[in-house]
Structure 1
């Protein structure tokens, strides 16, 4: 453990800008702080601080080491938390967010079931289709769908979603057969928030601009329109699977399905997940079905 000696003291001095401030923060003496920083410098073989009677500053090596030292502190805190929480039962408050429809239909039933198993759990759920700032608003994690863009967050893959193209048996019976992507040019497309439909053709992604009489940002509205024979809809599987099983919709172009996308739990970096959050994510992952 000699390698850890002086790290807390060095970070405190760098943050506070003085040995006195660091000593007050760590509730120790100035002499102890100074002694431990010198020990750390001796261990590393580099001078980390420029000391004068009027000014204290970081050396070039000190600036380089500071960010790594902070990561070491986080890692040690996480390791300690892991030991303390290893055998504890899930308890406490979990603040989370998820997209409205997916959260209502698929996440909240699992969350509610989890709460029945662990009566000491409290949930603060915000269903919102906007990507909220997890750190600023204090969320433990968010459920995100599709390709992730924010690389500053950590992520855990919970499941997958598959995009399908479907139409009603009545619509398909009176229309040109749909055997290739090009055939869609002769069909009415029910368009969602994006008019771009994605496919995989011979291993390569293919996109087309869908056109039709109806544009709507509600997946359920498009499902209803498709069931009523108004055209073809391309939607994630969880909108369509029940209607397909009932025979109300039929999938077409199944050999052109685009690559599946992830359903993710996203949470702030450098943070050990509490037992309650970790167990909830395990529960959700087991409960979600992958097509």
Structure 2
């Protein structure tokens, strides 16, 4: 820890501009801070600070070294906070954003068991098809269903989402069943506005530009439109698994691959992974597995 002591003292001197102010911030003696920084310089063989009677400034080498030190100290503070948080009982309000349809079908049904296990946690669930800005909206955790998650977020894959092309048996009896990907162009199509699927369907090796007869912007509307026999719909399996099992919908072109994405729990990189977030994600992974959603 001697190295960290020297780094912390040096960083405080740079940030405050004096040994006196740095000593006050560190609750230490000025002479101790000065000696600690001097020892650091000797150990590195580099002069890090220019000292005058009026103020202290970092040298060119000191400026470059400070930026590395700051990141290191920030990482150390985060690691310390996470270690301390891990010892605490999960508690407090948890703001969760999830896609509509998925929230109602998978998140809400799992809440009774979670809230019973963690009586000191409160949930605020925000359901919608849009991807909210997590930091700006004060979201602790979001569920994202995408092919590739944003690289700026901390991500944990919790399940898989496969796209199926489906229609009602009645629609297929009246209009015929497509046998190859481009047969869909002779059918009424239902598009989902938030995704690229609204006007481009990828089936097997084909990328097909389409013009949906009906375009919807919510997953529940997409499901209802498919069940109403309005045409072929490209729908996430999780949204219509029960309807497929009940024979209300039929999957078509099943021998051709369609896009597969992940269902991810995400949170901002600058947000601490608190016990309540970890507890909820762990619970959700177990719950989704129990409901047949594989990872």
The normalised TM-score by structure 2 is 0.86
Pairing 1:4-83 to 2, within 5 Å after superposition? 4-83=4-83
Which structure 2 segments of 5+ residues have no match? none
Give 1:281 shift.
0.8
Question: Counterparts of 1:254 and 1:37 in 2: how far apart (Å)?
Answer: 68
SS of residue matched to 1:254 = coil
1:199 aligns with 2:203: yes
The whole-number CA distance in structure 2 between the counterparts of 1:255 and 1:104 is: 30
User: Once structures 1 and 2 are overlaid, which stretch shifts more, 215-224 or 248-257?
Assistant: 215-224
Deviation of 1:137 (Å): 4.1
Summarize the Cα distance change of 1:228–1:276 in structure 2 as closer, same or farther, 3 Å threshold. closer
CA, structure 1 residues 136+11, in 2 after alignment: closer, same or farther (shift >3 Å)? farther
Deviation at 1:253, TM superposition (A): 1.3
Shift of 1:248: 0.6
Shift of 1:234: 0.3
Provide, for residues 242-280 of structure 1, a one-character-per-residue CA deviation record: whole Å limited to 9, x for no partner. 111110100011222324111112222255422221121
1:12–1:25: 8 Å Cα contact kept in structure 2?
yes
Aligned partners of 1:246 and 1:18: how far apart in 2?
74
For 2:293, the equivalent position in structure 1 comes to 290
Which consecutive residues of structure 1, in runs of 5 or more, have no partner in the other structure?
none
Structure 1 residues 57-105: Cα deviation after superposition (integer angstroms, max 9, x where no partner): 3333333333332332233334434543445432233233223332233
**Contact 1:176 1:186 (C-alpha < 8 Å) held by counterparts:** no
Counterparts of 1:1-291 in structure 2, within 5 Å, are 1-148=1-148, 150-193=150-193, 194-201=198-205, 206-269=206-269, 272-288=272-288, 289-290=292-293
Q: 1:290 to 1:19 in 2, by over 3 A?
A: same
Question: Offset at 1:168?
Answer: 0.8
Q: Secondary structure at the match of 1:248?
A: coil
Distance 1:130 1:18 in 2: 49
Deviation at 1:55, TM superposition (A): 4.2
Task: Measure, in 1, the Cα distance between the counterparts of 2:226 and 2:263.
Answer: 25
RMSD: 2.4
Verify the 8 A CA contact 1:111 1:284 in the aligned structure 2. no
2: CA distance, partners of 1:43 / 1:94: 47
SS at match of 2:104: helix
Q: Describe the SS at the equivalent of 1:6.
A: helix
**For residues 125 and 16 of structure 2, what CA distance do their matches in structure 1 show?**
38
Q: Secondary structure at the match of 2:204?
A: strand
CA distance in 2, matches of 1:188, 1:128: 26
8 Å CA contact retained: 1:163, 1:258: yes
Count of residue pairs the alignment pairs up = 287
Q: In the superposition, relative to structure 1, how do residues 185 and 124 fare at CA in structure 2: closer, same or farther (>3 Å)? A: closer
SS of structure 2 residue aligned to 1:66: helix
